[in-house]
Amino acid sequence: MRTTRLLHSMLAKLLAGTAALLAILLISGHARPGHVRPGHDFRPDVARPNRPNVVLIFMDDLGYGDLSCYGALGYRTPNLDRLAAEGTRFTNFLVAQPVCSASRAALLTGCYPNRLGISGALNPTALVGLHPEEETIAELLKEQGYRTGIFGKWHLGHRQPFLPLQQGFDEYLGIPYSNDMWPQHPNQANLKFPPLPLIEGNQPVKTLASLTDQDSLTTALTERAVSFVRRNRRNPFFLYLPFPMPHVPLAVSGKHRNSSGAGLYADVITEVDWAVGQILASLKQTGVEKNTLVIFTSDNGPWLAYGEHAGSSGGLREGKQTTFEGGNRVPCIVRWPGEVPAGQVSNQLLSTLDVLPTVARLCGARLPRRPIDGIDVQAAWRGTATESPRQTFLYYFRENNLEAVRKGDWKLVLAHPGVSYEAGKPGRDGKPGQTPGNHAFEGALYDLRHDPGERYDRQAMHPDVVSDLQQLAEQARADLGDNLQQRPGSNRRAPGTVAKAD
């Protein structure tokens, strides 16, 4: 016994010594000044061959009904349909809040955005952003030796301390906020937006001065993403692609204009589908397809105020900026060959909140040090869970209004003022229509399995369900607060702030 232990200990020391020597060789080989070219000969410092690459594609204002695999009519999205056929398509997937900045904060941090003090869509005068101490997926994966790139729309604070390079990304090309926050906005007389910059790293490199400048954006971001995949084929990478489209103003390149035969919005979706096809092809060409987890989703439902320039909620009630399903529920496709079942459809309740903890787990990364709201839903992705690991969801909106709560198929809508497209008139030709911003929605209980359109109030029939969901709402108010009831909440954190415009 003793001899065996001694041998083990000697062997362990020998192995440790060899590992240390190898580590020194590796480090010294890459530590020479000027030797490491970012993205070229980078090597992770931890050898874990099974860690997947992660490609996260996040559309802007793409509705639940905008892909042919989700029932879109009149045009086709063959590349996304193929992605769905090779992976699992989720039909009960919710964004944390149905508007740009709040939705993005949740995706990248796994937290309800109101926990982090992020709400709405930050505009060019904002002095706030995602707090630098909040930890993003990019930071957690970078720590594990991943190269990280973002090509597209950031919208978590455009001041320098809040930009992607300060939140775990190695590379950034894109716009800092929405593509309609520019002098050509239909309401520019009131809004007075400054010129829209294209940013590379931390520096503006160009002004997107006209719609023609925006027309080439989807292609430019796609080319950069493909180049990122090629440059990082030998090391683990996290590619985040928050495309600015199909948010208004709709922009499309010459090669896709009039290509769908179903109007400008469909042309834009056709180009987005082409872009996804390019990314998928690059994964295949570089031989990393099998070891790459691809997640495709959207930041919120369609902006119905824009009429024929908006997408489709697929029959769900209302759209962007509302907490009815048309605002929160979006397409979500997950593909990871051999790990996530191919050609499956899952109706389990999931959220963008769960992307961070699930990806972190799959990639061997830790969780953020501060509390988060997402949960590891790997079993739902892998199709091994008989019921979703996520059973509840809080529909917060505006600065901190608790507008609805969900448990399983039941959704209790709480009385609240909100945007209503149904009570307004849609616009046309790229101009918004008249949309009441403070429509008085009354409380109601919906059974989403039987009534996904949220039309039939079941409160009178199910008082027990109502009181159960009211308890859930009470717990939420104690934790996160609720401005509708003047409740501050005890666990909210502050956003990052800068003293003045730089």
The one catalytic residue in 69, 100, 332, 363 is: 100
Among 53-61, 408-416, 434-442, 493-501, the segment contacting Mg ion (CB under 5 A): 53-61
Q: Which of 201, 433 has the CB closer to Mg ion?
A: 433
Among 100, 107, 332, 349, binds Mg ion (CB under 5 A): 100
In angstroms, give the least distance from the CB of 104 to Mg ion. Answer: 9
The CA distances from residue 338 to 8, 281, 292, 386, in Å, are 37, 18, 11, 19
In angstroms, give the least distance from the CB of 67 to Mg ion. Answer: 16
C-alpha span between 87 and 52 (Å, rounded):
15
Among 55-63, 82-90, 338-346, 350-358, the segment contacting Mg ion (CB under 5 A): 55-63
Alpha helices in 363-449 (DSSP H): 378-382
Q: Which of 311, 426 has the CB closer to Mg ion?
A: 311
The dihedral through the CA atoms of 132, 164, 57, 364 has a sign that is negative
Among 1-9, 95-103, 124-132, 365-373, the segment contacting Mg ion (CB under 5 A): 95-103
Among 56-64, 237-245, 253-261, 416-424, the segment contacting Mg ion (CB under 5 A): 56-64
The one catalytic residue in 111, 131, 155, 247 is: 155
Closest residue by Cα to residue 94 from 308, 283, 355, 338: 355
Is 124 within 8 Å of 194 (Cβ atoms)?
Answer: yes
Which residue's structure tokens are 């997926």?
137
Q: Which of 76, 185 has the CB closer to Mg ion?
A: 185
Residues 6+ apart with CB under 8 A from 486: none
In angstroms, give the least distance from the CB of 187 to Mg ion. Answer: 17
Q: Which of 327, 368 has the CB closer to Mg ion?
A: 327
404 in contact with Mg ion (CB under 5 A)? no
61 in contact with Mg ion (CB under 5 A)? yes
Count Cβ atoms below 10 Å from residue 54 Cβ, excluding itself.
24
- What is the separation of C-alpha 347 from the centre of its chain, rounded to a whole number of angstroms? 19
60 in contact with Mg ion (CB under 5 A)? yes
Phi, psi of 229 (to 5 degrees): -60, -45
Q: Which of 52, 98 has the CB closer to Mg ion?
A: 98
Would you list the DSSP string of 162-211? GSGGGGT-SEEEEESS-TT-STT-TTHHHH-PPPEEEEETTEEEEEE-SH
Among 299, 325, 354, 454, binds Mg ion (CB under 5 A): 299
* Burial group, residue 37, by CB count within 10 angstroms (0-12, 13-18, 19+): exposed
180 in contact with Mg ion (CB under 5 A)? no
User: How many residues bind to Mg ion according to rule CB under 5 A?
Assistant: 5
Q: Which of 100, 280 has the CB closer to Mg ion?
A: 100
Closest residue by Cα to residue 157 from 189, 113, 192, 187: 113
In angstroms, give the least distance from the CB of 252 to Mg ion. Answer: 18
In angstroms, give the least distance from the CB of 100 to Mg ion. Answer: 4
Residues in the chain: 502
Q: Confirm whether 100 is a catalytic residue.
A: yes
**Residues forming the active site:** 100, 155
By CB under 5 A, name the binding residues for Mg ion: 60-61, 100, 299-300
